[in-house]
Structure 1
Amino acid sequence: MQTAPSSAQEPALAQPAPIRRLLSLDALRGFDMFWIMGGEEIFHVLARTTGWAWAVLMADQFTHVAWNGYRPYDNIFPLFLFLAGVSTPYSLGSRLARGHNRAALARKVIQRGLILVLLGVIYNNGLFVKPFAELRFPSVLGRIGLAGMFAQLIYLYVRNERSRYALFAGILLGYWAWLVLIPVPGAGAAGSLTMEGSWVGYVDRLLVPGRLHKGIHDPEGLLSTLPAIGTAMLGIFAGTLLHRRDVSDRFKLQWLVLAGVVCLALGWLWNLVFPVNKNLWTSSFVLVAGGWSFLMLALFYWIIDIQDSRRWAFFFVVIGTNSILIYLAGEVIDFEHAAHYLFGGLLAFFSEPVRALGGVLAFLAVKWGFLYVLYRQKLFLRV
């Protein structure tokens, strides 16, 4: 951890913070991270303790689809990767404009990507040595590191924007063709998209060392990292638009909304022949998740940066400026114990539903308070 003396400090690439800060980006990242750090438990607790129909419905939306399909909770991870892409034109683009060496920037991108892979392995397995066969190497941080790294390298070396769009389309179409048109050895005819019979699981079992999260398949495995590069590239396209100074805010907003609607339409149309599937990170899933990410970014950009309504966003900004740290901190800090120590006596006077809900809110309050202290001290984890 290091001290960030001023807002002019150059941002990290893996968890970016633009030099000219786009507040909506930090707020949306914080909004996304709020659910990862435990916010979804609010609905799960209400559903369990009250049985209210609306709480049960919301709790269901905050679970992952078992295989094919989509729920809002499935968008949390790709949104985080999308936002890492949004900041790339602010960080890398600004450095290139100041004359930084392209190869030196590429080395930093690769270094930070590999550090995130290492942090992901530590997050999965802890700091203590385990037998090699019990280690899980794929991870959420690893996917962010690798997919973000390759997307940023494309940004650095593919200078023509149209060529980037063509490469994005090529990645999605190539992944579709690989999974649907090429038979998996020993699995019969081509086109099997099951956990057991898809190319994704086959490559994981063949090449990924250690254990897989689901035994025969890993949702953050090797092959499905390829279309995840497309998710980060969608963010780069959005960031390139927002970084432009020759167009109005209204123009940017209109194109963000249009991009979101087009991605959603194409994604659900493709779903008819290539199902939306987060576990496989299918090309249709990239478009559906990207469509919602565009629309959420448009909403936050309109409210915060265009309408200048900012005070409400502070809660999420505090989370968003240290999102990687709070993701990792839960592995070494017992926030639940701290919440019980601080609030357990007070909650004991209430009924079970209130105690359960209060416990979740206390847990979130302790986490947010921890981040607020770091924010006030200008302490941020930079990878």
Structure 2
Amino acid sequence: MHTTTSQSTADPAIAQPAPVKRLLSLDTLRGFDMFWIMGGEDVFHILAKTTGWAWAVVIAEQLHHPDWNGFTAYDLIFPLFLFMAGVSTPFSIGSRLEKGADKSEVARKIITRGLVLVLLGVIYNNGLFVKAFQDTRFPSVLGRIGLAGMFGQLIYLYASTRFQYIWFVGLLLGYWALMMLVPVPGCGAGILTMECNLASFIDRQIVPGHLYKTIHDPEGVFSTIPAIGNALLGIFAGTFLRAHGRTGVQKTLRLLGIGVGFVVLAWLWNFVFPVNKNLWTSSFVCVTGGFSLILLAIFYWVIDVKGLKGWTFFFTVIGMNSILIYLAGEFISFDYAARFFFEGLLKLSSSEVVQKVGMAIGVLAVKWAFLYYMYKKKTFLRV
């Protein structure tokens, strides 16, 4: 892991690939995605709670994960990051291969990045050497991004386009078959409760330390297998965008059409294999992949095709250092800084709405200012 002050020479990271100049939309979309978990969600939760406004309540309800089966907009944040890592792959690794880079050397760097992200995920969850081994949670968001992104990129590196598609279909169908047909001791086959599903059972047998929900971990090892599909779908989208021969409008319409198709497929598949983020079911891959394609198409059309770029800077600053702000909250008290700068001013108002919503916006502003400072210094955290 290192910081860099040069965008042109930095190796792309799996979790946060180097900015692709021809796709400003990708950095903007990454920043839009990160905006919600760096503070955007808090603004709407507090707004809904303090005002009761119907539109704020509707948005806030979409910023919660379902208890088990189902899907909300909040479920899209994590797989969208994984998808975007895939989108950048043909631009970064593909261009290096075209310049004659050695595949084994590229593979070594891909594997190294993946394992570093796993390590960072363990540190993010547990701190550094502060928990006993049996109390340590090893699965993590960064770990899943690292492993799924790593395997997706290795498939891109060594498999032909045809076999990349075969891998994608095989992973989703294979995971479905295993989850529904392999019996779990004491439960039987095809039971998808938290206690009895195959993924949780396997994680309980092989994952060391502590699982997030004791009997289940939403970032477990076995359910990382279908997550490779999100990375591969991003790779397919990136390959398509990088190819010549189609106009920007044609590319936009193709991405939109395929995205809608995946969403429809997901809800049909949902009847026999429920959409479930905790298990990262194949139908969940399809619905998140479909919405990821739709969002990418919209951002690509607005920014790269129509050239409407003035509004992108706010999100681009976030997107170019998304892994930094994800980790920084564990080490920097942004809340303390926000209180220092804004608490006195906000107390001038007697309105609870102004005070609470204002403080949430203040925290978000402090985080953005921190990222803007790093942006002006051209310092970007890479893995």
Distance in structure 1 (CA, Å) of the matches to 2:238 and 2:282: 21
Q: How far apart are 1:22 and its partner, in Å?
A: 1.1
Secondary structure of 1:206's counterpart equals helix
The one-letter amino acid paired with 1:327 is: Y
* Matching of residues 181-196 of structure 1 within 5 Å: 181-188=181-188, 190-196=189-195
- CA-CA distance at 1:259 after TM superposition: 1.2
> Would you say 1:373 and 2:373 are equivalent positions?
yes
Which residue of the partner structure matches residue 343 of structure 1? 342
CA contact (8 A) 1:9 1:19 kept: no
Indicate whether 1:236 and 2:235 are aligned.
Answer: yes
Deviation at 1:311, TM superposition (A): 1.1
Shift of 1:252: 1.2
Q: TM-score, normalised by structure 1?
A: 0.97
Q: Aligned residue for 2:126?
A: 125
Instruction: Write out per-residue CA displacement over residues 35-79 of structure 1, whole angstroms, 9 at most, x where no aligned residue.
Output: 011210111101211122222221111100111111111111000
Asked whether the 8 Å contact 1:10–1:19 carries over to 2, the reply is no
Flag the 1:215–1:6 CA change in 2: closer, same or farther, 3 A. closer
> What amino acid is aligned across from residue 297 of structure 1 in structure 2?
L
CA distance in 2, matches of 1:132, 1:368: 36
1:178 match? 178
Quote the Cα distance in structure 2 between the aligned partners of 1:153 and 1:171: 15
Q: 2:33 & 2:194 partners in 1: Cα distance?
A: 28
Instruction: Report what 1:332 is aligned to.
Output: 331
Residue pairs, 1:86-101, within 5 angstroms: 86-101=87-102
- Write the deviation string for residues 199-229 of structure 1: whole angstroms up to 9, x where unpaired: 0110111111111111100000010000000
Q: How does 1:67-106 map to 2 (within 5 A)?
A: 67-106=68-107
Q: Is the 8 A contact 2:20 2:88 kept in 1?
A: no
CA–CA separation in structure 1 for the residues paired with 2:172 and 2:98: 30
Secondary structure of residue in 1 paired with 2:382: coil
**Could you tell me how far 1:148 is from its partner in structure 2?**
0.2
Measured against aligned partners, the alpha-carbon deviations of 1:275-297 in whole angstroms (never above 9, x if no partner) come to 00000000000000000000000
Aligned equivalents of 2:234, 2:51: Cα separation in 1 = 39
Give, in whole Å, the separation in 1 of the partners of 2:360 and 2:172: 40
For the Cα contact (< 8 Å) 1:15–1:324, is it kept in 2?
yes
**Native 8 Å contact 2:137 2:210 kept in 1:** yes
Deviations 1:1-47 (A, max 9, x none): 42323545443343112454410000000000000112101111012
Residues 224-256 of structure 1: per-residue CA shift (max 9 Å, x gap): 000000011010010000111232212211211
CA distance in 2, matches of 1:103, 1:2: 25
Q: Which residue of 2 aligns with 1:141?
A: 142
Kindly state the Cα deviation for residue 194 of structure 1 after the two structures are TM-superposed.
Answer: 0.5
Query: More displaced, 162-171 or 12-21?
Result: 12-21
Correspondence for 1:352:
352
Cα distance in 2, alignment partners of residues 8 and 101 from structure 1: 17
Q: How does 1:179-328 map to 2 (within 5 A)?
A: 179-188=179-188, 190-328=189-327
Contact 1:7–1:19 (Cα < 8 Å) also in 2 = no
C-alpha spacing 1:91/1:249, structure 2 compared with 1 (3 Å): same
Give the Cα–Cα distance (whole angstroms) in 2 for the partners of residues 134 and 233 of structure 1: 33
| Inter-partner Cα distance in structure 1 for 2:119 and 2:127 | 11
Work out the CA distance in 2 between the residues paired with 1:307 and 1:10. 29
Give the SS at the match of 1:2.
strand
**Number of paired residues?**
381
- Superposed CA offset, 1:303-355 (max 9, x none): 00000000101000000000000000000000000000011110111111110
Alignment check: 8 A CA contact 2:31 2:317 kept: yes
Q: RMSD between aligned alpha carbons?
A: 1.1
Q: 8 Å contact 1:64–1:73 — kept in the other structure?
A: yes
TM-score, normalised to structure 2's length?
0.97
Letter aligned with residue 152 of structure 1: Q
- In structure 1, runs of 5+ residues without a counterpart are none
Q: Distance in 2 between matches of 1:94 and 1:175?
A: 32
Equivalence for 2:112: 111
